Structure 1
Amino acid sequence: MNRITQFSRRSFLQSATAFLALPHLETYADNKSATDIKRMIFLGQGYGFVSKSFFPSTAGKFSKIGLTEGMTPLKKYQNDISILGNLENIGATNPHQGSLTFLTGASYANPKGFKNTVSCDQIAASYLCKDTRYNSLTLSTKERASGHGSGVRSMAWNPHGKPISGLNTSLELFNKLFAKHESKEQILRRIKEERSILDAMKLNVRSVNRTLGKNDQEKLDEYFQSIRHIELGLKKQIEWSSVPKPKASFKHPKEVDGEAEVKLMFDMICLALQTDQTRVITYMMPSQSVLSSMGITIPVHSLSHYNISAEREVVAKQRDHKCMELLGYLIGKLKSTKDKNGLNLYDTSLLAYGSNIRNTHTIKDFPVILSGGAIKKLRLGESFKLPKATPLQNVWLTLLQETGVPVKSFSSSTGTVKGILT
């Protein structure tokens, strides 16, 4: 055997010759079949869509029933998408919570504030991202008027029901993926300092543990579990400290916003997947800045109440078109970007796009659009009318299982959705 074939791809990446996107080299390809690699992308869109022009009224193949007016920007990809109807997010009762519960469904409000549980993207990440630099990437928006709920700006929730802070701009994502401000020694020194702080926190809290009541002790246990979660993250940083990040072949623009910002975020989502830095990405998308880049001055929340006037409805339809144009942009990028095995990212990815809100304050029968080739049995190119009030959690459970995540239930799921599979 030629000696060069004994090198692993990881060894190759550790050399100084690592680039932004390696070409497909069979010598360095992983032994595992490309079909073993599964990726998941979750996109949250705020404020819903114009009901009568966006949502299909019937089930069937798009090639037969056609696309609705609002979905026409996806004409090129009509055989690569499906939209699910008659969904209900069990546990979501407040439209003002927006997309906060889109990936969970077991949230509720109590006297002490908002409560949530683990999101399906984090369950997927715990299985799909064991061999990647990052367990997952959580992306968000810096704007508050985004239709995703006030205060918390994240769709990703850890196993303890706490929101995972997201990267709010494409520049933050760029720096996380490509910037190399720290040497290995600096990384290890920082991790040592962070561990020292965690150890001190443990000692200080344990000293008062005996004086606490049962409820407070339970809260304290949750606190320690959160610390353990941080420690596991530090451990992974150590494991990857010797592997240099890819080199960026471009400079991030100084000023970018609105539609351009979303497209740049999509570009780097593809780069993150292409360089296998993670296999699970969640993106809470902006709304108001996209309108502004379109020259629309109506506040996005006001626009969601489009039935107030004919003018608002026209502009709301324009927004629907733009949202679908952006979704089509990402699908196109996935199809035109090859991973290390020479396959289009599309072929190994599952893309889920949607919102907790159908329109205005309606939080039932909201849109979920699916795309990607990671699930070979997934029926694409169709409008589905599922049984009335099908739990959204059943969809997430189905997608998790079909991407190889060994879970028997998720949140308030009642079973899987067999109808969307062949």
Structure 2
Amino acid sequence: MSKLSRRGFLRGTLQGAAVGVGLPLLNCMLNSNGSAFAASGKRIPVRFGTWVWGCGFIPELWIPEKTGRDFEFPAHIAMLEPYREKLALFSGFDVKLDGVPNKPHVTGCFGLRTGIPVPDYNVKAPTLDVLIADQIADTRFSSIELCSAGIERSYSYRDAGSPNPSETSPLALYQRIFGEGFQDPNAAEFTPDPRYMVHKSVLAATGEERRQLMREVGAEDRQRLDEYFTSIRELEQKLALQLEPPAPVENFDMPAAPPDTIVDSEMGNVMENHKLMAGLLARALQCNQTKVFNMLFSDTASNLRRPGSSSTHHTLTHEEPEDPELGHQREVAWFAQRSMVAWKDFLDALSAIPEGDGTLLDNCLVLAHSDCSIAKAHAVEGIPVMVAGNAGGRVRTGFHMAGNADPISRLGLTVQQAMGLQVDSWGTLNMATNRSVTELLA
């Protein structure tokens, strides 16, 4: 028997409409370790995402004393011990300001994500997640943004005027992904929606006019039009995907709709919403709704608060005195540790889904970071970063690396290279680098 493709279907017609019956994931579609599709050589997709928490950390409770593989997890990340071999920890990498004013909770975040220190939200380059999505996104959603703390913003930007908004409610997230337009990859039959055929035809009919317009306008207008037509191309891609049967997905179960939860900044509600959203996102990744995501646990000026309190995490970083016995702010430390508990919850959601000969986490590269190191000083030196997952074997994990004040753009460059981008250097001025973190690349 000839080899079958994972996208194999039994095709026919029903009352004049084309229909397809998807084949299950068969052994003959896979290589010996279950990670590559035999007919095409195509591997299980690699996904990229970011996970952000605000207001930094308590260095002595987060940074391991040793570098390399033989390190111990300090108190605030001790709960991550089960993921030792799936994590790489990075400390001591800096955003170089180059004379740019440090806009608290902004400059550090976007310096890390763009390689450019910026004094405000006027982001002058795509964030690295957008660059990666442009390379790998062949899915219904080019990226999915989420925030469990009720903030509609994200730190995913194509340019200053194009931030990608976040979903803030688990129920709204569910409806967006698994509501109208979702195609169950394991459904017995597939019938294209005629509405998508009409929309695709209309867009296709204007293609030549768009190309002609691009040839006639000046450089500045071409840039504006290119940004606009990018959204058109994404819509065309989405419509094309809706007109063909989705590939069957092993171990996929349609998730149930979550409850209509309270969306605010109270820590208990945020933790609950984060868990629900992480589970839904994991299912979306599993059934190829997107390959890129940005999860915002708390915004960079963290609005998290304890139950019954009006004092936010951010406010406490400035107003709470240091505990003389502990040597740091007690309440701030509580929020910092809870953020790491949430990070473990996120890893739990990805690792709970089997995929190939491993888990969904094994086929992800997740860049987790904050916006500063010590929030009280708004320090952009030593911003804490972790990489989780193995990107389908493209990255090595299980170690702690000290950056020794190197530009944090080294990490951004390396992550892009691991995701297949042909980029040799990244960043500007003192953030410009061509030095990959070779310890991370497999």
Give the 3 Å change call, closer, same or farther, for CA 323–11 of structure 1 in structure 2.
farther
Q: CA deviation at 1:24?
A: 4.5
TM-score by structure 1 length?
0.78
Give the 3 Å change call, closer, same or farther, for CA 394–58 of structure 1 in structure 2.
same
Which residue pairs with 1:308 in the alignment? 321
Checking the alignment, whether the CA contact within 8 Å between 2:154 and 2:166 is kept in structure 1 is yes
Q: CA deviation at 1:267?
A: 0.7
Residue 48 of structure 2, aligned match among 28, 32, 40: 40
Q: d(CA) in 2 for partners of 1:33 and 1:134?
A: 24
Q: CA deviation at 1:367?
A: 0.3
Checking the alignment, whether the CA contact within 8 Å between 1:100 and 1:153 is kept in structure 2 is no
Query: Given residue 315 of structure 2, which amino acid in structure 1 is its aligned partner?
Result: S
Q: d(CA) in 2 for partners of 1:12 and 1:108?
A: 54
Give the 3 Å change call, closer, same or farther, for CA 32–202 of structure 1 in structure 2.
closer
Give the 3 Å change call, closer, same or farther, for CA 33–263 of structure 1 in structure 2.
farther
Q: d(CA) in 2 for partners of 1:418 and 1:231?
A: 37
Give the 3 Å change call, closer, same or farther, for CA 331–249 of structure 1 in structure 2.
closer
- 1:271-293 deviations in Å (ceiling 9; x for gaps): 1111112222112222667544x
Over the aligned positions, Cα root-mean-square deviation in angstroms equals 3.9
Q: d(CA) in 1 for partners of 2:203 and 2:9?
A: 28
Which residue pairs with 2:59 in the alignment? 51
Q: d(CA) in 2 for partners of 1:348 and 1:107?
A: 31
Q: d(CA) in 1 for partners of 2:239 and 2:394?
A: 38
Residue 364 of structure 1, aligned match among 381, 387, 396: 381
Which residue pairs with 1:397 in the alignment? 413
Q: CA deviation at 1:353?
A: 0.4
Which residue pairs with 1:82 in the alignment? 88
Partner-residue secondary structure (3-state), 2:371: coil
Query: Given residue 394 of structure 1, which amino acid in structure 2 is its aligned partner?
Result: R
Which structure: greater helix fraction?
A: 1
Query: Given residue 361 of structure 2, which amino acid in structure 1 is its aligned partner?
Result: Y
Give the 3 Å change call, closer, same or farther, for CA 303–230 of structure 1 in structure 2.
same
Q: d(CA) in 1 for partners of 2:393 and 2:361?
A: 12
Q: CA deviation at 1:15?
A: 6.3
Query: Given residue 166 of structure 1, which amino acid in structure 2 is its aligned partner?
Result: S
Q: CA deviation at 1:191?
A: 6.6
1:137 aligns with 2:141: no
Q: d(CA) in 2 for partners of 1:180 and 1:39?
A: 24
Q: d(CA) in 1 for partners of 2:366 and 2:41?
A: 21
Q: d(CA) in 1 for partners of 2:115 and 2:245?
A: 38
Checking the alignment, whether the CA contact within 8 Å between 1:160 and 1:226 is kept in structure 2 is no
Q: d(CA) in 1 for partners of 2:422 and 2:292?
A: 16
Range with greater deviation from structure 2 (69-78 or 247-256) = 247-256
Q: CA deviation at 1:263?
A: 0.9
Give the 3 Å change call, closer, same or farther, for CA 67–109 of structure 1 in structure 2.
closer
Give the 3 Å change call, closer, same or farther, for CA 41–359 of structure 1 in structure 2.
same
Number of matched pairs: 393
- 1:153-196 deviations in Å (ceiling 9; x for gaps): 22212268732233333333212221126982334556778999
Unaligned runs of 5+ in 2: 12-17, 31-36, 183-191, 247-251, 263-268
1:185 aligns with 2:194: yes
Partner-residue secondary structure (3-state), 2:242: coil
Which residue pairs with 2:7 in the alignment? 9
1:354 aligns with 2:346: no
Checking the alignment, whether the CA contact within 8 Å between 2:409 and 2:426 is kept in structure 1 is yes
Q: d(CA) in 1 for partners of 2:158 and 2:284?
A: 21
Which residue pairs with 1:418 in the alignment? 438
Q: State the identity %.
A: 18
Checking the alignment, whether the CA contact within 8 Å between 1:348 and 1:372 is kept in structure 2 is yes
Q: d(CA) in 1 for partners of 2:160 and 2:144?
A: 18
Q: d(CA) in 2 for partners of 1:197 and 1:253?
A: 42
Which residue pairs with 1:214 in the alignment? none
Checking the alignment, whether the CA contact within 8 Å between 2:414 and 2:437 is kept in structure 1 is yes
Range with greater deviation from structure 2 (298-307 or 250-259) = 298-307
TM-score by structure 2 length?
0.75
1:407 aligns with 2:423: yes
Q: How does 1:190-269 map to 2 (within 5 A)?
A: 219-243=220-244, 248-256=254-262, 257-269=269-281
Q: d(CA) in 2 for partners of 1:10 and 1:306?
A: 61
Which residue pairs with 2:129 in the alignment? 121
Which residue pairs with 2:169 in the alignment? 169
Q: CA deviation at 1:381?
A: 2.5
Which residue pairs with 2:76 in the alignment? 70
Which residue pairs with 1:328 in the alignment? 344
Q: CA deviation at 1:337?
A: 0.6
Query: Given residue 327 of structure 1, which amino acid in structure 2 is its aligned partner?
Result: W
Unaligned runs of 5+ in 1: 145-151, 211-216
- 1:11-60 deviations in Å (ceiling 9; x for gaps): 47996877xxx975335664345656322121111111123322234424
Q: d(CA) in 1 for partners of 2:297 and 2:369?
A: 10
Q: CA deviation at 1:383?
A: 1.9
